Amino acid sequence: MWGVNWPMMKLSLQGMTPLYFRASTMSLGAAWLFAYVALRGERMWPVGREWQTIAMLGLTNVLGWHTLSIFGVQELASGRAAILGFTMPIFTVLIGATLFGERITARVGLAVVCVAVAVGLLLWHELQRLSGRPAGVAWMLGAAICWALGTLQIRRAHLTLSPMVLTVWMLLLGSAVLWGLALTFEQPPQTAGFSTRLWISLAYGVLINYGVAQLIWFGMARSLPPATSAMSVMAIPLVGTLSATLIVGEMPHWQDWLAMVFVMVAIASVLLPARPAVPAQ
* SS3 track for 186-223: CCCCCHHHCCHHHHHHHHHHHHHHHHHHHHHHHHHHHH
Backbone torsion region of residue 41, taken as left when φ is above 0, otherwise alpha when ψ lies between -120 and 50, otherwise beta: left
The string over 58-97, giving b where at least 16 C-beta atoms fall within 10 Å of a residue's C-beta and e elsewhere, is: bbbbbbbbbbbbbbbbbbbebbbbbbbbbbbbbbbbebbe
The ranges assigned to domains in the chain are 2-271
Q: How many CB atoms are located within 10 Å of the residue 98 CB?
A: 9
Q: C-alpha angle 179/221/242, rounded to 5°?
A: 75
Say how far apart CA 157 and CA 229 lie, in whole Å. Answer: 16
Q: What does the DSSP 8-state code read for residue 277?
A: P
Band of the pLDDT at 67, cuts 50, 70, 90?
very high
**Model pLDDT for residues 221-264, shown as the tens digit of each residue:** 677 777 777 777 777 877 877 787 778 776 777 877 787 788 77
Amino acid identity for residue 169 in this structure: W
3-state helix, strand, coil in the chain (%, to 5): 75, 0, 25
Contact between 10 and 240 under an 8 Å Cβ cutoff? The reply is no
Amino acid identity for residue 196 in this structure: T
Band of the pLDDT at 77, cuts 50, 70, 90?
very low
Q: What would the mean pLDDT of 2-8 be, rounded to a whole number?
A: 87
Judged against a pLDDT cut of 80, whether residue 76 lies above it is answered with no
Q: What would the mean pLDDT of 201-220 be, rounded to a whole number?
A: 87
How confident is the prediction for the chain on average, in pLDDT? 84
Say how far apart CA 27 and CA 11 lie, in whole Å. Answer: 19
Say how far apart CA 213 and CA 193 lie, in whole Å. Answer: 29
Say how far apart CA 204 and CA 218 lie, in whole Å. Answer: 19
Counting residues of the chain whose pLDDT is more than 90, the rounded percentage is 35
Band of the pLDDT at 279, cuts 50, 70, 90?
low
Q: How many CB atoms are located within 10 Å of the residue 115 CB?
A: 26
Q: What would the mean pLDDT of 204-209 be, rounded to a whole number?
A: 94
Q: How far is CA 214 from CA 16, 101, 160, 205, 247, in A?
A: 22, 28, 19, 11, 22
Mean pLDDT is lowest, of 170-174, 183-187, 210-214, for 210-214
Judged against a pLDDT cut of 60, whether residue 37 lies above it is answered with yes
Counting residues of the chain whose pLDDT is more than 70, the rounded percentage is 89
Its pTM stands at 0.82
Q: What does the DSSP 8-state code read for residue 87?
A: G
pLDDT of residue 236: 81
